């Protein structure tokens, strides 16, 4: 099997279908779709079972641990992560990645571009500031991941995982920087964890300023 696609999901019944459809509409079919329903209290599991090859139900309350559960089941040669409120931009994403893998067979990580909601195109490398630390704008060789796993922090566990993975790189040729945008990052979707955290941080900062 060429690819394993892993989606951690939490109370996403209202919007995960777009992510799932963007996978199931792919022209390339040698893949498995794994959805990990983590601490869900809505119909996320019901929606996921209409699309996914494997649905795992957990109660971690941590996206990193949910991703680990998917990784432990993955059988594909390459691993792709998605967030439950994002989607792929084309129905030929896996075809393009499979071709890219054939062209750069020595690579262990393929880093690609994405479209950032409200900001437009984002290149795989930030200007003067290294590679984006997310896990979903990358395709990872599963054998290179090995036993590396996500931490149990509540948010931004992908930052720690990405840091560990790139620390394992010993040759720049292991990283393929590909400028093609493949992914839509639905940043600050109302009700998302990112948006809620931003509001909490804003409130905390406002309270600090008021106390001065």
**3-40 pLDDT, tens digit each:** 999 999 999 999 999 999 999 999 999 999 999 999 99
Full residue range of the structural domain in which residue 21 is found? 3-211
| pLDDT at position 153 | 85
pLDDT at 115: 98
Whether the pLDDT of residue 191 is over 90: the answer is no
pTM of the predicted structure, to 2 decimals:
0.88
Q: How is residue 77 written in tokens?
A: 């040669």
Q: In the predicted model, what is the mean pLDDT of the chain? A: 90
Strands (DSSP E) contained in 74-205 are 78-81, 87-88, 109-116, 120-122, 125-126, 130-131, 138-141, 175-185
Rounded to whole angstroms, the Cα distance separating 56 from 168 reads: 29
CATH number of the domain encompassing residue 140: 3.90.550.10
Question: What pLDDT score does 198 carry?
Answer: 37
For residues 49-68, b (16+ Cβ closer than 10 Å) or e, as one string? eebbebbbebebebbbbbbb
pLDDT of residue 200: 39
Tally of domains within the chain? 1
């Amino acid at each position: 099997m060429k690819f394993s696609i892993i989606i951690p999901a939490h109370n996403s019944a209202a919007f995960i279908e777009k992510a799932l459809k963007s996978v199931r509409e792919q022209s390339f079919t040698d893949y498995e779709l794994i959805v990990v329903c983590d601490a869900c209290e809505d119909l996320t599991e019901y929606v996921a079972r209409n699309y996914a090859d494997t649905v795992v139900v957990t109660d971690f309350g941590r996206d990193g641990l949910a991703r680990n559960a998917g990784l432990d089941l993955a059988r594909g040669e390459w691993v792709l992560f998605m967030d439950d409120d994002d989607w792929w931009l084309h129905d030929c994403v896996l075809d393009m990645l499979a071709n890219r893998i054939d062209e750069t067979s020595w690579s262990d990580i393929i880093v690609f571009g994405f479209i950032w909601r409200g900001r437009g195109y984002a290149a795989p490398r930030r200007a003067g500031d290294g590679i984006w630390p997310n896990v979903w704008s990358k395709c990872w060789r599963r054998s290179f991941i090995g036993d590396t796993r996500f931490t149990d922090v509540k948010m931004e566990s992908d930052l720690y995982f990405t840091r560990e993975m790139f620390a394992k790189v010993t040759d720049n040729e292991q990283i393929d920087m590909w400028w093609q945008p493949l992914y839509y990052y639905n940043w600050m979707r109302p009700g998302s964890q990112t948006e809620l955290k931003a509001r909490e941080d804003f409130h905390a900062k406002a309270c600090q300023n008021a106390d001065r």
